[in-house]
């Protein structure tokens, strides 16, 4: 009788138990390179360090584009990755807005590639820019990075909800529901 009245939250959370796509390493600092003011150099350094940390937490060093659901133990827990995303997002947003404000001023010193495998399709979405890329193309690549970061944030919120409920469904259902609402908001 108790199972018939129990909320379907554990079932809902298990639906969102997806594999994790590992982003390819990205060296934005080397590509943007020569900046004139010290504040911009410092902000770019913070952005690059956050990106490196994110790559490690996702498990990019394992040289796998997708970590299957059965191998999620190889990557860091969702709450840890989400915390790193929270530190990376402001720097990425600022860089994207700076490029948007003056795309003609952007000159790349090195090529770079934005590549995020999708856990849903298992296909990598990739943009590769060479040193001659225009500011508009750089902005497009940064938009892809931001979009994939947000999509993976939503998927990780769903994963955290699954972990919150627990395998037996006896965890914090209210917190899990809030996490699923946040994930839905990001997708929206």
- Answer whether residue 64 is part of any domain: yes
What residue numbers bound the domain in which 146 lies? 18-187
- The CA distances from residue 147 to 4, 11, 77, in Å, are 39, 28, 21
Tokens of 35: 């900046």
pLDDT of residue 16: 66
pLDDT of residue 1: 40
- Answer whether residue 25 is part of any domain: yes
What residues contact residue 135 under an 8 Å CB cut-off, 6+ apart?
A: 99, 102, 103, 104, 105, 106
Q: Between the ranges 19-33, 93-107, 121-135, 142-156, where is the mean pLDDT highest?
A: 142-156
Q: Average pLDDT of 51-74? A: 83
- Answer whether residue 8 is part of any domain: no
- Answer whether residue 46 is part of any domain: yes
- Answer whether residue 13 is part of any domain: no
- Please state the pTM of the whole predicted model: 0.85
How far apart are the C-alpha atoms of 175 and 160, rounded to whole Å? Answer: 10
The model's pLDDT over 126-158, given as tens digits with 9 standing for 90+, comes to: 999 999 998 899 999 999 999 999 999 998 998
Q: Which residue's entry shows tokens 């990001």?
A: 186
- Answer whether residue 54 is part of any domain: yes
What residues contact residue 4 under an 8 Å CB cut-off, 6+ apart?
A: none
Q: Average pLDDT of 23-28? A: 92
| pLDDT above 70: residue 68 | yes
- Answer whether residue 10 is part of any domain: no
pLDDT of residue 85: 95
Tokens of 47: 């952005």
pLDDT of residue 70: 73
- Answer whether residue 78 is part of any domain: yes
| pLDDT above 70: residue 5 | no
How far apart are the C-alpha atoms of 109 and 144, rounded to whole Å? Answer: 20
Number of domains into which the chain is organized: 1
């Amino acid at each position: 009788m108790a199972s018939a009245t129990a909320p379907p939250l554990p079932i809902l959370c298990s639906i969102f138990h997806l594999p994790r796509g590992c982003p390819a390493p990205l060296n934005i600092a080397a590509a943007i390179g020569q900046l004139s003011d010290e504040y911009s150099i410092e902000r770019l350094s913070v952005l690059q360090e956050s990106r490196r940390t994110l790559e490690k937490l996702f498990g990019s060093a394992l040289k796998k584009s997708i970590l299957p659901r059965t191998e999620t133990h190889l990557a860091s827990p969702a709450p840890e990755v989400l915390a790193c995303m929270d530190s990376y997002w402001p720097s990425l947003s600022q860089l994207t807005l700076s490029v948007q404000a003056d795309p003609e001023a952007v000159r790349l010193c090195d090529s770079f590639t934005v590549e995020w495998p999708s856990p849903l399709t298992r296909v990598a979405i990739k943009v590769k820019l060479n040193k001659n890329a225009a500011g508009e193309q750089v902005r497009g690549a940064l938009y892809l990075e931001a979009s994939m970061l947000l999509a993976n944030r939503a998927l990780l919120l769903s994963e955290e909800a699954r972990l919150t409920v627990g395998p037996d469904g006896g965890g914090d259902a209210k917190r899990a529901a809030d996490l699923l609402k946040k994930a839905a908001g990001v997708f929206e």
